[in-house]
Amino acid sequence: MNLWFTENQTDNLRLSFRVKNLVEFRKSKFQTLAVYDTVEYGRLFTLDDFVMLTEKDEFVYHEMISHIALSCHPKPENILVIGGGDGGTIREIERHSRVKNITLVEIDREVVEISKKHLPFVACGFDDERVSVIIDDGIEYIKNHKNKFDIIFIDSTDPVAFAEGLFHTDFYKFVFDALKKDGIMVAQTEYPFLKGDFIKEVFSSLKQVFPIVSPYLAFIPTYPTGMWSFAFASKKYHYINDLNPEFTKDFAEKLKYYTPEVHKAAFALPKFVKDLIE
Amino acid sequence: MNLWFTENQTDNLRLSFRVKNLVEFRKSKFQTLAVYDTVEYGRLFTLDDFVMLTEKDEFVYHEMISHIALSCHPKPENILVIGGGDGGTIREIERHSRVKNITLVEIDREVVEISKKHLPFVACGFDDERVSVIIDDGIEYIKNHKNKFDIIFIDSTDPVAFAEGLFHTDFYKFVFDALKKDGIMVAQTEYPFLKGDFIKEVFSSLKQVFPIVSPYLAFIPTYPTGMWSFAFASKKYHYINDLNPEFTKDFAEKLKYYTPEVHKAAFALPKFVKDLIE
């Protein structure tokens, strides 16, 4: 069978996956959702034909968006996740027994539904009693909560359509206000090789709001260029100086990407990335 | 114009580049050579339809294959490069004024010719008086040279056809013998995400021959999965303990990827890679 799913990563670059089966395709109020079985990467989940995750490499994104901040905050009791309706990020956050409450605010109810139905490997943590799922616009939600969270994760889609507002200075100010006085924010911030100007702008915005800001990087094969960036933005704790390897020790053997050494290394930026944000 | 070059990265995964122009296509005794102009990555050079380099991201591969070993060896006077006929690796080696002789052994004369003609950004170092180019089979060459080189770089194509022998224990023994008693070897060793078994075998072979062996990683967007591995194999010098940032200081500003911090970080392996080679 010669069936392929192709992502137009940019107008001029395409990644194609050989597909065994189209599992589901539907349109929600916000976007089109699809699930495929691929030969190389297992189950594949797309929104508007952009790769959200694959079964084989999702561990990188989800471990790296979550454990970095959770390894720097000494008392991460109240956590907010904006987006992340597939459940992968909360699955990782739940490993930390110090976490008491996780609020997940997902705009599209059908992302949660389709994930529970077809992506059990990521959507396995919704029943944890610490989790509350709120179907709402993350921007509206965050505006209405002040001084409440220890860590906020912005686990969003790409900066287009309804997710575009998640990458602006005004939004980062709401996030700052929603955090407690020693809070940390982590956000996904796209791919430096081809989105240099975007990343420059995002980090310039973040630096206007937070005193401690740095990108960090991870290898994600199914995202454009394979080099993905995240923003660490913090009021008090430093991404290296406050790293405590004890915080991941209990479940270190279960992880496939994150280690305390990888944590430190993720902030060692290739020179062209360093130059972008300085 | 809707013209695309597509690499079959595996049987089940394809990367496609929008092409502005086919610059050259020819068959040599060993392989088919092609040069394209792409929209996203500038000039693209392929062998047998596999991406060898692009103008936009070749700096990662060439900086990372060369400066790691050159930053650990205190007296790297005699250098051997097997393969590397495009010239990118010698361009980087030449930055080190401590280097006195560079011998490049390339099996396919037409790789050097096509690079000089169409890839001047990499093929700019052939006129350096320290460089000798020998058109020969690297395996035969290395068999006949003992105790001669301070560093040997294996800058080969993928482990198929004539390049396959460059990844075996017997070859690594010849490399060991061709090195002086404090010599270092660096080789490209493919992509851990999808070639785990291959990498496991290569590192197991290397450990039978060299006392100090480690993979290290770099982000290379146009190679499969974007996560590329190299082998550092050494008789005496350690990849971290013997790193001397002074050795790249004079030209640090000219580099786009390598820094001494990136050097150290490249050896911090994601847990699944660490598990592969242990």
Structure confidence at residue B165 as a pLDDT band (50, 70, 90): confident
DSSP line for A261-274: HHHHHHTS--HHHH
ipTM: 0.96
Identify residue B241 by its one-letter amino acid code: N
Which residue, among B180, B176, B5, B168, has the nearest Cα to B76 in the 3D structure?
Answer: B180
CA distances from A262 to A63, A71, A265, A269, B266 (A): 11, 12, 5, 13, 9
User: What residues pair up with B9 in beta bridges, in sequence order?
Assistant: none
Task: Calculate the CA A244 to chain-centre distance.
Answer: 21
Percent of chain A's residues with pLDDT above 70: 100
**Which token pair is B9?**
């990265």
Facing B40 at nearest CB: one of A13, A226, A227: A13
Instruction: Quote the radius of gyration of chain B (alpha carbons, Å).
Output: 18
Q: Compute φ and ψ for A261, nearest 5 degrees.
A: -70, -40
Dig out the tokens for A139 from the structure: 């921007």
Task: Say which residue the tokens 């146009």 belong to.
Answer: B222
A202 exposed, middle or buried (CB, 10 Å; 0-12, 13-18, 19+)?
Answer: buried
Considering chain B, what is the average pLDDT of its residues?
Answer: 96
pLDDT for A166 equals: 83
For residue B194, give how far its alpha carbon lies from the nearest alpha carbon of chain A (Å): 8
pLDDT for position A177? 98
Interface probe, candidates A261, A267, A269, A274, chain B, greatest B C-beta count within 10 A: A261
Q: How many CB atoms sit inside 10 A of residue B141's CB?
A: 17
For domain A4-53, the CATH class is: mainly beta
pLDDT, residue B18, reads 98
Smallest Cα–Cα separation from A226: which of B268, B60, B227?
B227
Please report, for chain B, the start and end positions of each structural domain, with discontinuous segments joined by +: 4-54, 58-277
Q: Which of A163, A53, A277, A193 lies closest to B59 in space, CA to CA?
A: A193
What is B4-54's CATH topology? Spermidine Synthase; Chain: A, domain 2 (2.30.140)
- The single-letter code of the amino acid at B205 is S
Q: Is B155 a catalytic residue?
A: yes
Separation between Cα atoms, residue A138 and residue A162, nearest integer Å: 10
Candidates B1, B3, B11, B12: best to mutate against A (most CBs of A within 10 A) is B12
Whole-angstrom Cα distance, residue A31 to residue A123?
19
Give the span between the Cα atoms of A253 and B18, in whole angstroms: 42
Catalytic residue among A108, A128, A155, A170: A155
- In this structure, how many other beta carbons lie within 10 angstroms of the beta carbon of residue B205? 20
Both structure tokens of A130 = 């610490």
Among A207, A174, A206, A200, smallest CA distance to A273 is for: A200
Q: How many CB atoms lie within 10 A of CB A235?
A: 16
**C-beta separation of A59 from B271 below 8 A:** no
User: Which residue shows structure tokens 């052994």?
Assistant: B105
What is the CATH number that goes with domain B58-277? 3.40.50.150
Contact A256 B269 (CB under 8 A): no
Q: Which of the four pLDDT bands, split at 50, 70 and 90, describes residue B243?
A: very high
- When pLDDT is cut at 50, 70 and 90, the band that residue A193 belongs to is very high
**How many angstroms separate the CA atoms of B112 and B126, rounded?**
9
Q: Please answer whether residues A57 and A252 qualify as being in contact, where contact means their C-beta atoms are separated by less than 8 angstroms.
A: no
**What gap in Å lies between CA B164 and CA B125, rounded to an integer?**
27
Return the pLDDT at B256: 98
Query: Region B120-130: what's the mean pLDDT?
Result: 98
What is the C-alpha separation between B133 and B144, in angstroms, rounded?
Answer: 16
pLDDT at A163 over 90: no
Q: How far is B76 from chain A (nearest CA, A)?
A: 24
Is the Cα dihedral B229, B232, B238, B243 positive or negative?
Answer: negative
Q: What average pLDDT does chain A have? A: 96
B/e letters for A129-154, b = 16+ CB within 10 Å, e = fewer, are ebbebeeeebbebbeebeebbbbbbb
Is residue A221 within 8 Å of A258, Cβ to Cβ? no
With a CB cutoff of 8 Å and minimum separation 6, the contacts of B98 are B75, B76, B77, B247
What are the residue ranges of helices labelled H in A71-214? 88-93, 109-118, 138-143, 169-178, 196-209
- At A164, the pLDDT band (50, 70, 90 cuts) reads confident
Q: Which residues contact B74 (CB under 8 A, 6 or more apart)?
A: B237, B242, B244
Contact residues for A96 (Cβ-Cβ < 8 A; gap 6+): A70, A76, A247
Is the predicted pLDDT of residue B161 greater than 80, yes or no? no
Cβ pairs A/B, distance under 8 A: 128
**Position B116 pLDDT exceeds 80:** yes
**Whether the predicted pLDDT of B162 surpasses 80:** no
In the numeric block, which tokens belong to residue A278? 């300085």
pLDDT of A162 over the 80 cut? no
**What are the contacts of B17-23 at 24+ separation with CB within 8 A?**
B17/A12, B17/A13, B17/B41, B17/B44, B17/B54, B17/B222, B18/A11, B18/A12, B18/A13, B19/B44, B23/B118
Strand-pairing partners, residue B108, are none
Q: What angle do CA B123, B189, A19 make, to 5 degrees?
A: 105
Interface of B with A (CB under 8 A): 4, 6, 10-18, 38-41, 56-57, 60, 193-194, 217, 219-221, 224-227, 255-259, 261-262, 264-266, 268-272, 274
Let me know if the fold of B4-54 is the same as that of B58-277: no
Do the beta carbons of residue A104 and residue A156 sit within 8 Å? no
